Amino acid sequence: MNKILIYVLGLSLFFLSCKEKKVDTTTQQKKPTNILFIAVDDLRPELNFYGANHINSPNLDKLASESLVFNRAYCNIPVCGASRASLLTGMRPTRHRFINYMTRADVDVSEAISLPNLLKQNGYTTISNGKIYHNNEDDGIAWNSRWFPEGNIRNYQIEKNVIENEGSGQAQGGAISHEMAQVHDTAYFDGKIAQKGIADLRMLKNKKEPFFLALGFMKPHLPFNAPKEYWDLYDRSKIELPESYTQPKSTPQKAFHNFGELRQYNNIPKKGDVPEPLAKELIHGYYACVSYVDAQIGLVLDELKRLELDEDTIVILWGDHGWNLGDHKLWCKHVTFETALNTPLMIKVPGKTQGTKTDAITEFIDIYPSLTELVGVEAPNTVEGQSFVPILDGKTQEKDWAVSKFKDAVTLIKGDLFYTEWTKDDGVAYARMLFNHKTDPLELDNLAEKPEYQDTVGELAKELRVKWGKDFLK
């Protein structure tokens, strides 16, 4: 009897062992997850799926319906080069790191392992198309290949602009801030970037390695150039100036600027407010560019699905910072108002996301550790962000704050409060502003100097200095 029992137990263990081996083999053969990483220059969250039903963005709307959409995502610095370097390294800006559009990650933090570099080290094919870093040569070791469309960066099609601009690539000598041309989508850079992305997807389809395909679209960055069909989607007579078209005296003058990025164009007055008809024309051009880039992104996403790669590919889409369209009578970015810091962010994870939205406060430095956690790669200890994967799993995130900066201005976003200080090199404040978004979403009533808010200001000032990072003043 004992022999029979031993035989039965042995046979059972054998079959269990075989079953375990079968499961392990299946796990080992499972293809790692790809990442389609889509950056959109100067895209503000004035989009249909954020409640702006006057915007025509069907492809972004569809992606949002399959994603987790972040209502409160904030860039860590509202200028393209610095924002991208911060995001791709997962490191905060400081007083002396990640300063302006010329920032290079491989100069400011040469010791850091960027997100694409880390993935490349872990067997990913990494491809950069279009504008990922501001400088296309930045972090060159991170990529298996890099590509940028040839031609004038301003990308004009109307002959007058090209001739009078003398092909210099700068908006001077007659070049204007926008263009409506009767041309095919591929006449502009973003159409070319979409086609390159589609070609890469077809090539990557047959590779055994997972991929990190980064597509950096240029619009709606100035100049607002888009094919006529996208301008025709909007009726300018129905376009209104923003509700916040004012600069309250209670707000420090340091909060405003002369929007030099726009003033360089020949059709923009060098001083003073932009005339109302021109302001509406600019808003019209921005909307046209949003719809144009939406169409290009749609082509890429359609190809991803056609190639049956969509079920094994994380898609993340982000705008590098917000943008002012006359808000506070400002244009462009370079400020710490909500309009320049709040950005579109959504992530589609097969099997996890189904078109939900979250109000959890998220910083761009959180993107790096979130993606690495999703694909099972350990992030380096230089990364300062916090993974938002728990939100994807339906859990509540304890963190309810973010920190952003531009030049001397440093902002703590905590709950409904937006607190900004302008500080000197030693960290001592010389101006400040505080807005409560629950009662003042347009940021028109600065509470920072009101007697009844001094305790709140004192608490926020202490908290800001803790949360802006241990190396902030170095």
Give me the helices (H) in 156-275, please: 159-164, 189-204, 228-231, 260-263
279 assigned to some structural domain? yes
Residue 360 sits in a domain whose CATH number is 3.40.720.10
372 assigned to some structural domain? yes
Domain span at 307: 32-400
304 assigned to some structural domain? yes
430 assigned to some structural domain? no
Residues 6+ apart with CB under 8 A from 364: 73, 74, 75, 76, 83, 86, 87, 318, 343, 345, 385
- Active-site residue, selected from the candidate residues 18, 54, 96, 134: 134
**What's the domain count of the chain?**
1
pLDDT confidence of residue 99: 95
pTM: 0.91
- pLDDT tens, 7-65? 444 544 444 444 443 333 333 444 459 999 999 999 999 999 999 999 999 999 999 99
Residue 221 is among the residues annotated as catalytic for this protein = no
424 assigned to some structural domain? no
User: What residue has token string 């170095």?
Assistant: 474
1 assigned to some structural domain? no
- Active-site residue, selected from the candidate residues 18, 75, 80, 178: 80
68-70 and 356-358 as β-strands: parallel, antiparallel, unpaired? parallel
471 assigned to some structural domain? no
**Residue ranges in the chain modelled with pLDDT below 70:** 1-32, 159-174
Residue 134 is among the residues annotated as catalytic for this protein = yes
pLDDT confidence of residue 9: 47
Structure tokens at 99: 């300063």
pLDDT confidence of residue 173: 52
Residues 6+ apart with CB under 8 A from 243: 442
Structure tokens at 46: 């004035």
For the chain, the C-alpha Rg in angstroms (whole number) is 24
459 assigned to some structural domain? no
